[in-house]
Amino acid sequence: EAGVTQSPTHLIKTRGQQATLRCSPISGHTSVYWYQQALGLGLQFLLWYDEGEERNRGNFPPRFSGRQFPNYSSELNVNALELEDSALYLCASSLDPWVPYFGPGTRLLVL
């Protein structure tokens, strides 16, 4: 069974640009979670999508947004990039919220 996949693996942007990160959940999983992990820090919850709807979002500004498509894949958009947005962005999928399975992440570097 294929796991959660994320693309791209690495992304380099400059301040003010927009970044789009993509996630494909495990087949059959309807929930997708996005987390941000800055270097050396823990996982900070960003967004939760389930059945195409945004169910909850963490304490992040509105320039962090996303969506979930009918096939349950998801996209995270970060507008007006700032230097501190440089981090590993992790996507997880689950059938039950308390067992999320994570993808390998997208490393975003903002210059």
Partner 1 sequence: LAKTTQPISMDSYEGQEVNITCSHNNIATNDYITWYQQFPSQGPRFIIQGYKTKVTNEVASLFIPADRKSSTLSLPRVSLSDTAVYYCLVGSSGGSYIPTFGRGTSLIVHP
List interacting residues with partner 1 (CB under 8 A): 4, 33, 35, 42-43, 45, 48, 55-56, 58, 88, 90, 92, 96-105, 107
CA distance 67 to 84: 23
Nearest approach, Cβ of residue 43 and partner 1 (Å): 4
The two three-digit tokens of residue 80, written as one number: 């007006």
Strand ranges in the chain using DSSP code E only, listed in sequence order: 5-7, 10-13, 19-24, 31-37, 44-50, 53-57, 64-68, 74-78, 87-94, 101-102, 106-110
CB of 27 to partner 1, least distance (A): 17
Structural contact between residues 46 and 60, judged by C-beta atoms closer than 8 angstroms: yes
- Name the minimum Å distance from CB 49 to partner 1: 12
Beta carbon nearer to partner 1, 13 or 57? 57
Smallest gap from residue 16 Cβ to partner 1 (A): 26
Nearer to partner 1, 80 or 92 (CB): 92
Cβ distance to partner 1 smaller for residue 16 or 44: 44
| First vs last C-alpha separation in the chain | 37
Beta pairing, strands 74-78 & 87-94: unpaired
78 versus 92: smaller Cβ distance to partner 1: 92
